[in-house]
Amino acid sequence: MSDNVTLNRMMLDMRAMQLESQIKPAVEQILPAQHDLNVEQKETPHFATLFKQAIDSVNELRQESSDLKTRYQFSDPEVSLSDVMIAGQKASVAFDAMVEVRNKLVQAYEEIMKMPV
């Protein structure tokens, strides 16, 4: 369940970064003098860092699922069929979510490329 929570948290972080990137230019136009102030700003992780963490998380889920399947096939008494099925579903859902995020990124990239300069 914590992997699902982690994935949901990453998706929320990515949405927050998207909103921030849309709002920040508008605020800078309204309040350009704010950059002159020595206000300590909170460092936000780069999108690439968040995306790599999400991919690594999905990869870990897939590897865990594969490991449990192999252990179950070799009759490991500590691994039950329900554990294998749950791990497989977690990996599948995480992978499907990652594919959807990738598709949205490609779609956004294509829209940006169609914009006149």
Q: Assign 45 to helix, strand or coil.
A: coil
Is 37 inside any structural domain? no
- In the prediction, which pLDDT does 43 show? 78
22 pLDDT band (50/70/90 cuts)? Answer: low
| Mean pLDDT (the chain, rounded) | 81
Q: Report which of residues 47 and 36 the model is more confident about.
A: 47
What is d(CA 100, CA 111) in angstroms, rounded to the nearest whole number?
Answer: 16
Domain around 63:
2-32+45-114
Q: What is the DSSP letter of 37?
A: S
What is the C-alpha to C-alpha distance for residues 50 and 3, in angstroms, rounded to an integer? Answer: 15
Q: Does residue 40 fall inside a structural domain?
A: no
Does 39 reside within a domain? no
How many domains in the chain?
A: 1
The answer to whether the predicted template modeling score (pTM) of the entire model surpasses 0.85 is: no
Does residue 38 sit within a domain? no
In a domain, 66, yes or no: yes
* Distance in angstroms (rounded) separating the CA atoms of residues 71 and 11: 31
pLDDT confidence tier of residue 40, bands split at 50, 70 and 90: low
